[in-house]
Amino acid sequence: MSISLVGLPGSGKTTVGRQLARRLRLPFVDSDHAIESRIGCSIREFFDREGEERFRDIEEDVLDELSKNANSVLSTGGGAVLRANNRGNLHARGKVVYLKSTPEELFRRLRHDVSRPLLQVSDPLARMRELFAIRDPLYRETAHFVLETGRPSVATLVNMIVMQLELSGAIPSVD
């Protein structure tokens, strides 16, 4: 079973993904780490040097490869849904969970994080609101399940995902 997590930067895709993979006894893959391995530098460096369009080309290739892996939990980058190919491949090749957070909640989590290129602007909260407005419909289009992250613990979110997967018949009941 392939499970992909989508959502805005800081929504918990990597943290929740690691725990979900452990719970389901599946390998965990972070697409951002796979991209950094391929390009040989940080995404931020590459973004600054080559631009967003070139980054999205590489991201599309990496997601195409990673989404073909039938048995893993995949954490995607926040902008993975911007390309129709990515949305289609992720949706068709496994179950997709949208970890939905408000821009205000994400801003609270990320306000001191300088590693995220799209938030290095004069008004990061306005930028988060803009990203949410653009991407929320794309996340919803891609996802099989939408989970409001709000303030539940990581363990609670993992339980909620497992319950959704079980109820949908995507995975057998797990203890």
pLDDT (tens digit, 9 = 90+) per residue, 38-61? Answer: 999 998 899 889 998 999 999 999
- Sign, CA dihedral 62-64-68-73, equals positive
Can you say which residues are annotated as belonging to the binding site?
10-15, 32, 56, 78, 116, 135
Question: Tokens in use for 71?
Answer: 């048995």
19: domain CATH number?
A: 3.40.50.300
Can you say which residues are annotated as belonging to the binding site for ATP?
10-15, 116
Tell me the residue ranges of DSSP E strands in 2-110: 2-6, 28-30, 72-75, 95-100
Q: Examine residue 145 and state whether it is found in any structural domain, yes or no.
A: yes
Tell me the residue length of the chain: 175
- Looking at residue 98, what is its pLDDT? 98
Range of the domain at 118: 2-167
Percent of the chain with pLDDT over 90: 71
Q: Examine residue 29 and state whether it is found in any structural domain, yes or no.
A: yes
Residue 8, pLDDT above cutoff 90: yes
Based on C-alpha coordinates, what's the Rg of the chain?
15
Q: Examine residue 98 and state whether it is found in any structural domain, yes or no.
A: yes
Residue 175, pLDDT above cutoff 70: no
Can you say which residues are annotated as belonging to the binding site for substrate?
32, 56, 78, 135
Query: pTM for this structure?
Result: 0.93
Q: What is the mean pLDDT of the chain?
A: 91
Q: Examine residue 39 and state whether it is found in any structural domain, yes or no.
A: yes
pLDDT mean over 61-80? 93
Which of 19, 27, 28 shows the shortest CA–CA distance to 162? 19
pLDDT digits (tens, 9 = 90+) for 82-116: 999 999 999 999 999 999 999 999 888 877 776 66
Q: Examine residue 172 and state whether it is found in any structural domain, yes or no.
A: no
Q: Examine residue 147 and state whether it is found in any structural domain, yes or no.
A: yes
Can you say which residues are annotated as belonging to the binding site for Mg(2+)?
14
Query: What are φ and ψ of residue 35, in 5° steps?
Result: -65, -45
Count of domains for the chain: 1
Q: Examine residue 19 and state whether it is found in any structural domain, yes or no.
A: yes
Q: Examine residue 137 and state whether it is found in any structural domain, yes or no.
A: yes
